[in-house]
Amino acid sequence: MTTTSTAPSVLTVRAIDPVVHGALLVRDDAGREPVRSVDETGGAPLRCCLTRARAGDRIALVGYAPLRRWAAETGAEPGPYDEVGPVFVHDGPCAGPAGQGWPEGFHGGRRVLRAYDRRGRILGGELVGPETAEAVAARLLADPQVAVLHVRAVEFGCFQHEVRRG
């Protein structure tokens, strides 16, 4: 990670919490049952561990409300910025990410870093490539108005993971 004197020294990358992951496998944040399948070829981006599925992995597609989950933890009221979108997770227990750092091999293409304030309102976003995402996240989180970042895929708009100050 590239840091400057104004950037946070540590970023915390957060996957879907294991307790939340287990609940999503019963009923997702849209109130639906998960769509279960086997990833025959591998490569599905798993938000429970921030890795890619291997060929033959059992996966589930669930509706997830990342801002709602953050708001419940922090007391924010995101109002209409609360949204539910599709994410893939393991269809069963998952140990979570191997570490707290930027997930190696998880991002392959361009991403949008979406910044939210402490109320859960969108402050802005920035389009980044995989080689600059971590440094841009640090720069955005150096702004005291930014409370949390969401990393999203450009092509589908899907939530990838959350980033906070260390």
pTM over 0.85: yes
d(CA 37, CA 17): 21
Contacts 24+ apart (CB under 8 A), 66-69: 66/150, 66/159, 66/162, 67/116, 67/120, 67/150, 68/29, 69/17, 69/20, 69/29
Looking at residue 9, what is its pLDDT?
57
pLDDT beyond 80 at 3: no
pLDDT tens, position by position, 117-156: 999 999 999 999 988 999 999 999 999 999 999 999 998 8
Mean pLDDT of the chain: 91
Residue owning tokens 């859960």:
120
| 8 Å CB contact between 116 and 149 | yes
Which residues fall within 8 angstroms of residue 55, CB to CB, at 6 or more apart? 39, 40, 41, 42
Looking at residue 57, what is its pLDDT?
98
Looking at residue 97, what is its pLDDT?
92
d(CA 126, CA 37): 33
